[in-house]
């Protein structure tokens, strides 16, 4: 998804929050908003939406949305320089996504773990491992843009 498309997701999801609909709930909208913020690396959006997304995902026992919220918190912590908290949240998300067998989500989470590992100069091998696993997940399902981005990241290591 192009960067401008993320802005549209946020714009229209925020508009939808003010409307009532029987087929979509706030938990759906907050999951979309926090996921878009995570993909954009939008710290303010993550701060705004992660607590709400997590609260509603837990309330409704929605495992996919719980995992999305965990990953979003992981990205938020990474952006804030809190590596220990970021790693814990990202690994919790990965575990949930693996339980659900959601390959694209697994790949995205492995990519985030790779990004986190890159923050430590001694963790290049761990970063390479995470990015390689993400690439496998993306290639397995034909997620070409994600696979390309991951290959580019691997080429810089």
Question: How far is Cα 70 from Cα 51, in angstroms, rounded to an integer?
Answer: 10
Question: How far is Cα 36 from Cα 28, in angstroms, rounded to an integer?
Answer: 12
The token pair that represents 17 in the structure block? 């929050």
At which residue do the structure tokens 């990205």 appear?
Answer: 75
At which residue do the structure tokens 């091998």 appear?
Answer: 125
**Nearest by Cα to 109 from 95, 94, 123:** 94
- Residue 94: the pLDDT is 98
Question: How far is Cα 94 from Cα 31, in angstroms, rounded to an integer?
Answer: 16
- Residue 1: the pLDDT is 42
**Nearest by Cα to 65 from 105, 103, 104, 37:** 105
- Residue 116: the pLDDT is 98
- Residue 26: the pLDDT is 87
Question: How far is Cα 154 from Cα 157, in angstroms, rounded to an integer?
Answer: 5
Written as tens digits, the pLDDT of the chain (157 aa) is: 445 555 666 666 666 556 655 556 789 999 999 999 999 999 999 999 999 999 999 999 999 999 999 999 999 999 999 999 999 999 999 999 999 999 999 999 999 999 999 999 888 999 999 999 999 999 999 999 999 999 999 999 9
Give 4: exposed, middle or buried? Use CB within 10 Å, 0-12, 13-18, 19+. exposed
By the 8 A CB rule, do 108 and 134 touch? yes
- Residue 19: the pLDDT is 60
The token pair that represents 131 in the structure block? 């990015």
The token pair that represents 113 in the structure block? 């773990």
Question: How far is Cα 98 from Cα 92, in angstroms, rounded to an integer?
Answer: 10
């Amino acid at each position: 998804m192009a960067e401008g498309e993320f802005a549209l997701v946020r714009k229209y999801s925020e508009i939808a929050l003010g409307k009532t609909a029987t087929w979509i709930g706030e938990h759906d909208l907050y999951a979309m908003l926090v996921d878009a913020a995570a993909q954009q690396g939008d710290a303010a959006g993550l701060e705004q939406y992660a607590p709400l997304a997590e609260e509603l995902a837990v309330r409704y026992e929605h495992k996919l949305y719980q995992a999305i919220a965990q990953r979003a918190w992981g990205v938020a912590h990474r952006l804030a320089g809190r590596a220990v908290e970021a790693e814990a949240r990202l690994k919790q998300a990965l575990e949930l996504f693996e339980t659900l067998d959601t390959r694209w989500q697994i790949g995205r989470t492995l990519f985030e773990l790779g990004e986190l590992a890159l923050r430590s100069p001694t963790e290049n091998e761990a970063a390479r491992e995470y990015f390689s696993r993400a690439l496998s997940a993306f290639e397995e399902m034909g997620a070409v843009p994600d696979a390309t981005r991951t290959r580019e990241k691997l080429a810089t290591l």
